[in-house]
Amino acid sequence: MKTELRRILAESARLDVPIDTLSDSDDLYAAGLSSLATVHVMLAIEDEFGVEIPDHMLTRRLFSSVDSLASAVEELRRQQAAA
């Protein structure tokens, strides 16, 4: 999953540094992630993983790192499977 998230970030986030130079816990905002880019990333994640990110999850913390994005997608998948 993190490989797919990194691809999405490389294609959609327009970071100031290559995504492969960042660790999974590095701050994406410090790497140049903008609020506009988070919208592109969110839409790409929803398409890639077949999930819908609810409004209450759309926080700066969600988009802060590859780890936080992966945790959110895993949680959304668990909720989907339980429904």
Q: What is the mean pLDDT of residues 1-19?
A: 97
* Domain 2-82 indexed as CATH 1.10.1200.10: yes
Q: At what angle do helices 35-49 and 2-12 cross, to 10 degrees?
A: 140
* CA-wise closest residue to 65 among 11, 6, 4: 6
Contact by Cβ (8 Å): 83, 50: no
C-alpha distance across the termini of the chain, in Å: 21
Q: pLDDT digits over 23-72, tens only?
A: 999 999 999 999 999 999 999 999 999 999 999 999 999 999 999 999 99
Contact by Cβ (8 Å): 65, 24: yes
